Amino acid sequence: MPISVQAHPFSLEECQTFEQVLRDDPEYRQKLQDAQARGEHRLFAAHFNGKRVAIALIGKNQPRLDWMVVHPATRGRGVGKDFVRLIGQALGEDLTLPAHCQQG
């Protein structure tokens, strides 16, 4: 599945546009709003056919993935793996993943 990655402005209005991606993960709606209020992250989205299919929060001063949510309809298709790789390309460096995501 070819996806594209785009950084998005981190505003309350922008956060509200991710409702469809977060529909099955309501706890991340609050996490997104909390992160927006703190201003410590960058917001990235994966797009497929003009629609947002994933969202990720990346540390503002370091390339560290805080969390990522993939839309339920696209899970199990490699979107998350491609998304992480493409964010790294956009940033010009590999992302550091949370410990529970590390592959050994």
pLDDT, residue 1, reads 54
Whether 81 has a pLDDT exceeding 60, the answer reads yes
pTM: 0.83
Q: Per-residue pLDDT tens for 40-57?
A: 888 999 999 888 899 999
What is the distance between the alpha carbons of residues 70 and 68, in angstroms, rounded to a whole number?
Answer: 7
Rounded to whole angstroms, how far apart are CA atoms 29 and 68? 12
Domain topology for 4-97? Aminopeptidase (3.40.630)
H-type helices in 1-104, by residue range? 12-16, 26-38, 79-91
Residues 6+ apart with CB under 8 A from 70: 21, 46, 53, 54, 79, 80, 83
Q: Where are the domains of the chain?
A: 4-97
Whether residue 65 contacts residue 98, with contact meaning beta carbons closer than 8 Å, is answered with yes
Residue range 68-85: mean pLDDT, rounded: 87
Phi, psi of 60 (to 5 degrees): -70, -40
